[in-house]
Amino acid sequence: MDRLWTPWRMEYLTSEKPADCVLCRSLTGEDVANHVVHRGAHSFIILNLYPYNNGHIMVVPNRHVASLELLSPDELLSLMQMVNLGLAALRNSMSPEGFNIGVNLGKAAGAGIDAHVHVHIVPRWQGDTNFMPILADTRVIPESLPDTRLRLARAVQAVLGANSEEEADIDEDRRV
């Protein structure tokens, strides 16, 4: 029998989960260490630490709320604009053939972080599913999180540079 070792997952599986919100913690600190791809006035894009596929990102409002209807109109608009930005960056840098986009509201709906609403964007390719998740309970992710973060941060900058001056309020030192 062949084995595929994923020792980095054991820390997550056996560790005590923090009492504070991991997404709120990502609002402060260094983008590279927190896997933040891009920050906006009301929301940000971050890599999923335990991705379903390479390039799995989450779009998160800056304000800690549990559901979409608790967001202000400006926050909701920002969230959806950030989803579009994430889609464009993924298309331009990874050429996926499709996407799964979704919001899990509440534990019963599968939310791993149910107190801070976020939108998942999972890039998909024909044939990207295989026997590994079913037989080995393991996903194969071909690129490291730091490499994916850098690739997507550069793609976001390229999209913003091509479309407008939207990134003018972003701190230059924190972007890449």
Of 38, 56, 118, 120, which is the active-site residue? Answer: 118
pLDDT tens digits for 72-99? Answer: 999 999 999 999 999 999 999 999 999 9
Considering the chain, what percentage of its residues have pLDDT values greater than 70? 76
Lowest mean pLDDT among 20-29, 83-92, 125-134, 162-171: 162-171
Whether this prediction's pTM lies above 0.85 is answered by no
Angle at 137 between CA 19 and CA 125, to 5 degrees: 100
Q: Which residue has the higher pLDDT, 38 or 130?
A: 38
Tokens for 157? Answer: 């900058």
**Cα-flanking dihedrals φ and ψ of residue 122, to 5°?**
-115, 115
**For the residues of 55-119, what is the DSSP string, one character each?**
T-EEEEESS--SSGGGS-HHHHHHHHHHHHHHHHHHHHHH--SEEEEE---SGGGT-SS-SS--E
Q: What is the pLDDT of residue 174?
A: 40
Tokens for 162? Answer: 């091509």
Q: Which residue has the tokens 């890599």?
A: 47
Task: Please provide the average confidence, as pLDDT, over all residues in the chain.
Answer: 83
3-state secondary structure of 129: coil
- Cα–Cα dist 91/155, whole Å: 9
Spatial strand order in the sheet of 57-61: 36-39, 43-47, 57-61, 119-124, 98-102
The pLDDT confidence band at residue 171, using thresholds 50, 70 and 90, is very low
- Cα–Cα dist 61/43, whole Å: 4
Considering the chain, what percentage of its residues have pLDDT values greater than 90? 55
Q: Is the pLDDT of residue 62 over 80?
A: yes
Q: Which residue has the tokens 């998909």?
A: 124
Q: Kindly state the average pLDDT of the residues 46-60.
A: 91
Please confirm, yes or no, whether 42 is among the known catalytic residues: no
Q: Torsion over CA of 9, 15, 16 and 22, rounded to 10 degrees?
A: -40
Residue 27 CB-density burial (10 A; 0-12 exposed, 13-18 middle, 19+ buried): middle
